[in-house]
Structure 1
Amino acid sequence: MSANLEKRVACYVRVSTENQLENYSIDEQTDRLKAFCKAKDLSIVKFYTDGGYSGGNMNRPGLQQMLKDIKDKHIDMIIVYKLDRLSRSQKDTLTLIEDEFLSNDVDFVSMSENFDTSTPFGKAMIGILSVFAQLEKDQITERFTMGRIGRAKNGYYHGGPTAPTGYDYIDGELVVNEYEALQVKEVFKRFLDGQSINAIRKYMSEHYTNKYGNWSSHTLVLNILKNKVYIGKVKFKGKAYAGKHKPIISTDIFNDVQKILTSTKREDSKTIFQKNPFKANNLLTSLIYCKNCGARFCGNHGNYVCYSRGKTDKRKIIDPNCKNKKWNIQALDKIIKDEILEAALNKEYFNKIISNKEIVPVDNTKKMKKRIDEIDKQIVRMMDLYQVGDIPIEQISHRIVKLKKEKDTISDQLVDKKQTKLSIAEAKGILSRAAIILENGDLSQQRMVVSNLIDYIEIDDECIQIHWSFV
């Protein structure tokens, strides 16, 4: 009897939704494997079949049964039509072959690639071919992602049937739900009236219901206040595009809300839910930026200090060698208050601010943008190394994730410096009340005045540059 006929051979076949369109049907794979085994004098004891399962998913019934039979010593050899039928993941492919097959004395053969693990060449080819299987999966994902980006660019909502509160999802598009739209407007109005997230949630829960039940979640309220879908935008992968759907909230109202939310960022986010949403630790929190490196300033032990110099949050460091001056909190607060009071009480000074066209603000974001470009180039280099197989995919993935986090942090700081402009009439209205509020108001009220009148402040050692919202 032939040695091959003594081997207990099992064949594994798989198709996914994408591959139904290719020439890899279950029947096609089965017929070719039978012919291959007949030509090689191999005796097939069992076929394991997974129909409609992705190669990126290890939790397949046929695959799991095969692994169980391997451990029970019922199989001597596994044959597949093509390597990617086993898995499209490099890591999973090598794990299956090395930890499940070879460790249990089971040989592995891929018919199309014409190799098997019983030969040295076959073992060497496993690592090479699995790289390309992973690359093919990534290309499918990339094509799918590009399709979703194209849909977003064309203005279509990509969230599927789970439409945001205020809209229904009909025939692939968002359509305003008038009853829920009324509720969304109520949320924005109450927030601008100074109510806390908790107070809004409580009121809405007592008076309204929506398609998802009631307003029992703080997160629901906050997400609605941040969602650009309500001003007619659709988002995908962090970018916003003009949507085809009808807006519920005006852009002006939405920007006013974002300005408040941005000006109230702090380490302990619980206060936004339980207390006044305008509360922060210091008067100028989130408004000061370093003109030297572009990082934001924070309050630290009685001083405003550049994050790069203070190093209290590694994610917000732009230049670890930055030596920009620390400013005493009370001293800098007084300087900014005095500037606002001067603009409020001195008509000539106010007119000088709004007519001072010759001053062109320095692009203090240059270093941050340069670092983002450097990160993008590093990510491209990582992908190039991956495609030539010089570095393991796990190591490359770890580096890319780390670079992506740094890029997101820097990008957030750029977005925060958003320069929302006031009309001259609006600025005069706020300034007319500024003196009373800055002298007698609590911190949250004073912050409202400052953050409305000032987009951001730049510090360059002894030099302080105010970027007004009404210039």
Structure 2
Amino acid sequence: MIAADTEASVTALYCRLSQDDKQEGDSNSIFNQKRILKQYAVEHGFQNYLYFIDDGYSGTNFRRPGFEKMIAGVKDGSIRRIIVKDMSRLGRDYLQVGMYTEILFPDHDIHFIAINDAVDSDKGENELTPFRNVFNEWYARDTSKKIRAVKKAKGLAGEHMTSNVPYGYRKDPDNPKHWLIDEEAAEVVREIFQLCVEGNGPARIAKMLAERKILCPTHYMITKGMKPISHLPTSPYGWSSTVVVNILERRDYLGETVNFKTHIKSYKNRKKVNNPQEEWKIFRDTQEPIIDEETFSIVQKIRKGRRRPTRMGKMPILSGMLYCADCGSRMFLQRRVSDSIGQYNFVCGRYRQGPGNCTMHYIRYAVVEKIVLENLREVVSYVSSYEDEFTKMIMDEDYKEKHRDIEQKNRRLEEIQNRYRELDQLFQRVYEDNVHRKLSDERFMKLTKGYDVEQASLQEEETVLSAGLKEESRQAVNVERFLHIVRKYTEIPELTPEILHEFIDRIIVHEADKSSGKRLQEIEIIYNHIGSFDKSNITLWRGKAVQP
């Protein structure tokens, strides 16, 4: 039995418009919906009406502010009637729509009307309503599929898939798809990376920025007239370790665009899921870089081998860089509050878990620090004096042949990427023709299927080529990068975190050999970009380098 209207009863006039509905013209506009709903309410004597509006919300999403406010009114009894232009305005998920129209509304004696679909709950059930709900959901599914296809095309073409610009950049006024450096914020980004290179962790960096009263990214965006994209901290200087980590790990600062890092589960479930890194698409030189590649690489290495500070304070710079030669585990730094740095020592991490797992591989921290500094000075001096000889020593004899092969593969890779972009543009054109009804759905599906097949073939070839190029070009590129680092230094007075991480990837520690009557211990210093070579393999006796 439907309850009678009272003076306090509200007639809810519900309007919804998604971004996709806007492409269909003015018929579904909020203005037009309000006009139709008001006219119907007045003509039928429903005077106490109130608008509930959701502009820019998908019909598959039922977490809309206007809708939720209206449903709260249904549950507290203040709303007596709901009127919508048609069933699709209520939603495009037939199960959810059915739950409201067939269970919740009847339970609360709601008079429900969908004008254009001739639905009026006071006049009994409309047998076509469930079918309309199914068709509305099919429409949402088809629209979602087309939108994903266009986004995929844009992503594969190297366009930014986000409308939110990262902290440190701003949109180009002449081309919103292009990012320009925001120097004020970029300086903070550079400082964050430098602080990390110097051995500061994210929590410490966040504390330092807050103490200096530097605006956090969300509050900074507000001062620049931009809409914040995340939760707004209470304090304008509310930096957190999470924000710092996001900045330190963001490849956009290299001048790259990284697409397809996440995907949503379905058009109904908008939850984001991380994609494996091999599925990412990375495009270089899409904007001016804020951070150079060496600094970014150093920071990622530091992050990978990060160690939490203990109650003894900051960890020494070599912590996390030593590895056991036999089991491959990271060496554990042993120290006590009462110890001087000369008493610190490393042992194999697996041995420390149980002596049966590996052997000790004991080595003193001070010895490693001294030997690394001496070796660095020797290598930098040698490379600076004999650059050509060093280059020949590192590179393979068949380098020239490899170089020619690399050039051929690079040319083919460029051809593939150009064709990919052509197909993306073709796809976008036929999609637009389909949206504007210049091309039938059948013809659209036939054309796009052919494009998909060709793109899949190109993608497979690109994957094989890229993997081969990555391996073949490694030595040629790495030697030049190592030389670039060496040229920055005329001398190395001390071992700093920046110098250490810029030059050295890791240090391999072998078990001591006492077979000769002496305790000889070998360590390998693995340099960034070139690995180990004769001068980086060192034998120690009594804490000094000796000839084996």
Q: TM-score, normalising length from structure 1?
A: 0.49
Greater Cα radius of gyration, structure 1 or 2: 2
Q: TM-score, normalising length from structure 2?
A: 0.43
